[in-house]
């Protein structure tokens, strides 16, 4: 591969920043993209490909090629076209072979096997969640076929041998979502990882109920809840961030959903809806350790301190959430984590609050080529 010296130097600078700073890989890419205004589309594509690939495996490359800079190491390596082959050739600690921090390895060692690591270290696939209230999955597929966009229709997801209906499309080529056929059909889809689409699809039907998306954030789960339950049941999406809720309202309007409102998550909300909610979805703030395919920085920068802060925050949120659920109501707890402390340990904490476990699943990357998610459903006594 012929590489302009400027591109190489900028990749090395970006890697130095990424290794020393917990900024996300996306933030670092945008920073360098903005600073290099003379780059054309090809330059940006080359920079992105090198930066993301090398950052994903930098510990392994640095160990295998100690006398070369990371770009030279990568260019020498690419003839293998499979990073797992390097791992097989070297004697090194597991965190070097999988290119993650010692802390990340220690926390994940007993949770995931070698096959799962191979998927977690792959580039993330792009999935769409199709709004089947407005268009069928096959009709949207036809739009993509007409535009000659390579894709795969996914109408079923498998988790622990159980199958759940979904309406997803996997995009198998580079596309511009700001151009047609996507731009003129934006009400028909949301970009959402397949793993994130699964938990809501497992929920039972609910007629004329009150649903709360607790800690709604950007609203990915809210959109899924509206797709599954609107207009039969009312959804309230709540969060401490008003700006995120405003953005969510615009998304819901664009997708033509009704029977929906947003509310700031404060003490007044907690008091008003105590013991009134039929279904509460808690997509808890977490380490994000199951999303390292897309958020590479996490496997290097999650720390004991940050994990402990998450656990304390989760328990506080869980206690508030439980108080809102009515007797015989449901609580769905979700994380995009692979760590026991954020998953099974929090499940046990919830069970101590006299809720009954209905179901429990771990979505593995290797099972659906997706991010890894954990979720469990409880019924309140």
What CATH code is carried by the domain that includes residue 139? Answer: 3.30.70
Q: Are 227 and 357 part of one and the same domain? A: yes
Indicate the Cα dihedral angle 10, 15, 20, 24, nearest 10°: 100
Q: Are 309 and 239 part of one and the same domain? A: yes
Indicate the Cα dihedral angle 52, 55, 60, 61, nearest 10°: 80
Which residue blocks in the chain are alpha helix, DSSP H?
5-20, 25-35, 41-56, 58-64, 70-77, 83-89, 94-97, 102-108, 114-120, 137-146, 194-201, 220-229, 242-254, 267-272, 298-301, 304-324, 344-351, 365-368
68 CB contacts (<8 Å, ≥6 apart)? 76
Q: Are 181 and 293 part of one and the same domain? A: no
Query: Mind listing the pLDDT tens digit of every residue in the chain (381 residues)?
Result: 678 899 999 999 999 999 999 999 999 999 999 999 999 999 999 999 999 999 999 999 999 889 899 999 888 777 655 666 777 778 899 999 999 999 999 999 888 888 899 899 989 999 999 999 999 999 999 999 999 999 999 999 999 989 999 999 999 999 999 999 999 999 999 999 999 999 999 999 999 999 999 999 989 999 999 999 989 999 999 999 999 999 999 999 988 898 999 999 999 999 999 999 999 999 999 999 999 999 999 999 999 999 999 999 999 999 999 999 999 999 999 999 999 999 999 999 999 998 999 999 999 999 999 999 999 999 999
Q: Are 155 and 223 part of one and the same domain? A: no
Q: Are 189 and 218 part of one and the same domain? A: no
213 in any annotated domain = yes
Phi, psi of 53 (to 5 degrees): -65, -45
CA dist 73 and 284 (Å) reads 39
106 in any annotated domain = no
In whole angstroms, how far apart are CA 3 and each of 26, 50, 67, 300, 302? 22, 10, 19, 27, 33
> Full-prediction pTM beyond 0.85?
yes
Find the domain containing 143 and state its range.
Answer: 126-194
Q: How many domains does the chain have?
A: 3
305 in any annotated domain = yes
25 in any annotated domain = yes
Q: Are 253 and 370 part of one and the same domain? A: yes
Q: Are 50 and 136 part of one and the same domain? A: no
Domain end (from 61, 81, 99): 99
CB 358 within 8 A of CB 315: no
Q: Are 91 and 131 part of one and the same domain? A: no
The CATH number of the domain where 303 resides is what? 3.40.50.150
Q: Are 175 and 237 part of one and the same domain? A: no
């Amino acid at each position: 591969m012929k590489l302009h010296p400027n591109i190489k130097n900028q990749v090395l600078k970006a890697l130095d920043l990424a290794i020393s700073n917990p900024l996300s890989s996306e933030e670092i890419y945008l920073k360098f993209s903005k600073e290099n205004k003379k780059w054309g589309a090809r330059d940006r594509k080359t920079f992105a490909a090198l930066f993301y690939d090398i950052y994903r495996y930098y510990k392994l490359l640095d160990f295998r090629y100690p006398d070369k800079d990371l770009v030279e190491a990568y260019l020498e390596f690419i003839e293998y076209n499979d990073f797992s082959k390097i791992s097989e050739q070297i004697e090194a600690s597991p965190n070097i072979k999988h290119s993650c921090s010692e802390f990340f390895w220690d926390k994940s060692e007993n949770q995931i096997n070698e096959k799962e690591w191979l998927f977690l270290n792959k580039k993330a696939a792009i999935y769409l969640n199709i709004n089947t209230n407005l268009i069928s999955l096959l009709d949207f597929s036809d739009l993509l076929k007409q535009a000659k966009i390579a894709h795969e229709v996914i109408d079923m997801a498998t988790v622990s041998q159980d199958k759940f209906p979904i309406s997803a499309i996997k995009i198998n080529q580079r596309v511009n979502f700001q151009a047609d056929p996507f731009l003129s059909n934006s009400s028909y889809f949301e970009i959402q990882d397949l793993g994130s689409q699964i938990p809501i699809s497992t929920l039972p039907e609910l007629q004329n109920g009150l649903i709360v998306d607790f800690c709604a954030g950007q609203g990915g789960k809210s959109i899924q809840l509206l797709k599954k339950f609107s207009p039969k049941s009312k959804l309230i999406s709540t969060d401490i961030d008003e700006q995120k809720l405003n953005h969510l309202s615009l998304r819901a309007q664009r997708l033509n959903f009704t029977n929906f409102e947003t509310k700031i998550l404060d003490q007044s909300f907690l008091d008003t809806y105590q013991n009134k909610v039929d279904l509460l979805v808690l997509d808890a703030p977490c380490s994000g350790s199951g999303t390292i395919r897309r958020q590479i920085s996490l496997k290097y920068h999650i720390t004991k301190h940050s994990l402990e802060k998450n656990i304390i925050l989760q328990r506080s949120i869980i206690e508030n959430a439980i108080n809102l659920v009515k007797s015989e109501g449901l609580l769905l707890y979700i994380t995009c984590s692979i760590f026991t402390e954020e998953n099974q340990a929090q499940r046990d904490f919830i069970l101590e609050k006299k809720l009954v476990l209905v179901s429990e699943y771990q979505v593995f990357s290797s099972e659906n080529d997706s991010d890894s998610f954990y979720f469990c459903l409880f019924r309140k006594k």
